[in-house]
Chains A and B, each alone.
Chain A
Amino acid sequence: EVQVVESGGGLVQPGGSLRLSCAASGFTLSSYWMHWVRQAPGKGLVWVSRINRDGTTTAYADSVKGRFTISRDNAKNTLFLQMDSLRAEDTAVYYCARETYASSDYWGQGTLVTVSS
C-alpha cells in the first residue's frame, strides 16, 4: 500500500527552525517527483516546494524562497523540508505529496507547524 507519513511539526518561536520529514512506503521514492503543500488554519491549499527524482532540481513558492529547503534521501525513502527564519504566517498543516502526471496522487495526513511566541 502506498503511504506517505509526515512528521516533525510542532510549536516554534518566530525566527526559529524546524525540519519536517516525510516517510514514503509502498513505492520507490526515487521514481517520483515530490511536493510540499501547506494549509493555514481555515484557509486553502498553497503549493510550497517541489523536488525532482534525484534531488538536483528544486522549486519554491516566492513566500518561502530563501528560507525553506527541500531535499530527499532516496536510500531512506524520506523527503525533507528544512524551514528556517519561520514567521507567524508559516503556521499551517504541511502535507507531502507524490507527483504523477503533474498532479499529486498520494498525500499524507499532514503535520502541524505553529509559529508563535
Chain B
Amino acid sequence: QSALTQPPSASGSPGQSVTISCTGTSSDVGGYNSVSWYQQHPGKAPKLMIYEGSKRPSGVPDRFSGSKSGNTASLTVSGLQAEDEADYYCSSYAGSNFFVFGTGTKVTVL
C-alpha cells in the first residue's frame, strides 16, 4: 500500500496551464480505470474534480482535465485562475477493496 507519487509542487501564471503527474504501478493506476483527483484548499475538505480518469462531476469547470498513460495519470488545469491555488491529490483503486492516495501537489498561481 505505497502512496502514489506526485511532484510536491507546480506553478503557473494566470491563464497558463499546469499539469500534475501521479505515478503508481500496474496494481493500481495502471490496472484500473479508477483514478480520481481532488482539490483541497487550506482548512477545507477535499473536493472531487475528476473521476474514472477523465470524467468531470457536474459543476467542475472544463479547465480541469484528466488522462492516463500506463501507470501514470495526469491532471491538467488550463487557463489558471487565482482560485485554482490549492493542494491536489490523486487516488486510485488498488484491488481487493483497497484504495490509495497520492502524495499531493501544491499548485501555486504566480
Contacts and interface: CB of A to CB of B under 8 A. Distances in A.
Interface of A: 35, 37, 44-47, 50, 57-59, 61-62, 95, 100-105, 107-110
Contacts of B1: 61-62
Contact of B99 (A47, A62, A105): A47
A108 B97 CA distance: 21
A35 B99 contact: yes
Given A101-B51, A102-B32, A59 B98 contact: yes
Nearest to B52: A101
A105 B51 contact: yes
Interface stretch (B15-23, B67-75, B78-86, B100-108): B100-108
Nearest to B32: A102
B51 A102 contact: yes
Contacts of B64: none
B34 A45 contact: no
